[in-house]
Amino acid sequence: MRDYAQLQEILAPIISDENVQDMKNYIQHGSITTFEHCFSVAKLAYRMGNAVPFEVDMTILLQGAMLHDFYLYDWHELGDGSHRMHGFRHAKRAANNAVTLLGMNEDVHSVIYSHMWPLNPLRVPRSREAFIVCLADKCIALHETLFKR
């Protein structure tokens, strides 16, 4: 079994927040909640961050991974129309929520903001942490879409 002590230590304050807990009320892919999806991305990003031959800031990596879809709405419902173009817009909303609701710094904001690259071609990941989260998100999203429906 993998040692996730560092992951749990870094994410504990975030996961206990009521706004983050609210992500359990929204479906991401199939029957997977946004919270479950983000936690899976965080676990994969953690494994990737420990496997690469260069230094990674694990706090920025894990905070960005856990909050990359912290947009707090059901993207499957049109609602008032603000959910249109979800794939292009949600990263900005999630990044802003992370800063305003949880006090995350600019490095974490950047990780979240760029996680939808290359769909958002101008939001290129600009750090190692951002690139790892972007890649981990694609891997987990593909797995959930193909095998968790």
Q: Could you tell me the residue range of the domain that residue 71 belongs to?
A: 5-147
DSSP the chain: ----HHHHHHHHHHHTSHHHHGGGGSEEETTEEHHHHHHHHHHHHHHHHHHSSS---HHHHHHHHHHTTTT-S-TTS-TTTTTTTHHHHHHHHHHHHHHHHH---HHHHHHHHTTTTTTSTT----SHHHHHHHHHHHHHHHHHHHH--
Digit-coded pLDDT (tens) for 105-118: 999 999 999 999 98
The answer to whether the CB of 38 falls within 8 A of the CB of 15 is no
Q: Choose between 29 and 8: higher pLDDT.
A: 8
pTM above threshold 0.85: yes
Residue 120's pLDDT is what? Answer: 83
Digit-coded pLDDT (tens) for 21-62: 999 999 887 889 999 999 999 999 999 999 999 999 999 999
Number of domains forming the structure of the chain: 1
**What CATH number is associated with residue 56?**
1.10.3210.10
